[in-house]
Amino acid sequence: MLAALLYGQEDLRLENVPEPVPSAGEVVLKVTTATTCGTDLKVWRRGGHAKMLQLPTLFGHEVAGEIAAIGSGVEGWQVGDRVVANNSAPCMQCFFCQRREYSLCTDLSFNNGTFAEYIKIPPAIVHHNLLPIPDDLPDALAAMTEPLACVLHGVARSNLQEGDRVVIIGDGAIGLMFVAAMSLTEGVTPILFGGNDQRLEIGRKLGAKAAFNYKEIQDVPGKVKELTGGWGADIVVEATGVPQVWEQAIACGRPGATVNLFGGCPKNTKISVNTEELHYSELTLKGVFHNTPLYVRNALSLLHSRLLPWELLISDRRPLRDLEAVFQAMKNRQVIKVAMEP
């Protein structure tokens, strides 16, 4: 079968590899749609990921497909079932899983390889995070379950309350999903900052009450204070993964704010925090990572509800052979997400 393998920094190769065969507890999916992700872009540009993969590796992690083969011991599924498979599952046994902190699981089972004709799903994911796709939900939307699950986990950790003024920094798919998810809470005012006018317009359609191009603003924290009566935002979400923007996000919060540092920065990077401001302004700084089985289910349900125009995040549909060109387009910010259809 044809599959994409990542060998290093911006070194992505399409190769013919053996089709996977399921062992006990596993299933094999025929990939119908694999969506690209900002995390994929970062991994491609950086040449690796601290937690999710070791090079060289099969690549991609957002997928919708049909069950093509079933290993022994798997119950409740049939060949031909349309499913979405999360890219991970917790062990349910470790210190953190016993405390229901599943995203911190010490034995989190990750799975990569969605940019291929077939993908094998490990037993833990089959058991905990393999879900049926509703008949009327297109595969391209279902494939976005994983990133939306991460966002819903991030929203839940942000102390969101009715009437909050929320600043989201970053107009990639994750930032736009945060705008959409935050807008569903009564009275919340999402304010989006990004660097692409077309994406900012999509942000408005997804629920942003205001959207600003940071390239046209000399002082983003100052602009936030101007919009919030001089105080700053109740909640700030950082969705770029740039250390300097983490610092900017902290400066956008009011006293008592929660700052969700969601964008994953390069390994071993650091930020500076004003200890006086952190202490006397009672700021809450949160690092939020990944998702949990609950939010995987909630994400698929929210996509199925069609409460929001999620299809705006799909910029294009392309065959697998165009994957390298797609990543170049993502690097140049010409597309948001692309549905790869093997």
Q: Half-sphere exposure of 291 toward its Cβ, with a 13 Å CA cutoff?
A: 25
CA-based angle 309:221:273, to the nearest 5? 110
- Give the DSSP H or E segment for 13: strand 11-16
Give the pLDDT of residue 54.
Answer: 78
Q: Model's pTM, two decimal places? A: 0.96
Give the pLDDT of residue 51.
Answer: 64
CA-based angle 328:330:332, to the nearest 5? 70
Which phi and psi (to 5°) does residue 51 adopt?
A: -115, -30
Helix (H, G, I), strand (E, B), or coil: what is residue 234? strand
- Give the DSSP H or E segment for 43: helix 38-46
Burial (Cβ within 10 Å: 0-12, 13-18, ≥19) of residue 270: exposed
Q: What is the mean pLDDT of each run of 10 residues along the chain (342 residues)?
A: 94 96 98 95 82 82 98 97 98 97 95 97 98 98 98 97 97 98 96 98 98 97 97 98 97 98 93 97 97 98 97 97 96 96 93
- Give the DSSP H or E segment for 255: strand 253-261
Give the pLDDT of residue 136.
Answer: 97
Give the pLDDT of residue 48.
Answer: 73
The Cβ of residue 297 has, within 10 Å, a number of other Cβ atoms equal to 16
Give the pLDDT of residue 77.
Answer: 98
Q: Please give the structure tokens belonging to residue 218.
A: 């000399």
Q: Which domains does the chain carry?
A: 2-149+291-340 (3.90.180.10), 158-287 (3.40.50.720)
What whole-number distance in Å separates Cα of residue 21 and Cα of residue 44? 27
What whole-number distance in Å separates Cα of residue 168 and Cα of residue 178? 7
What whole-number distance in Å separates Cα of residue 57 and Cα of residue 49? 11
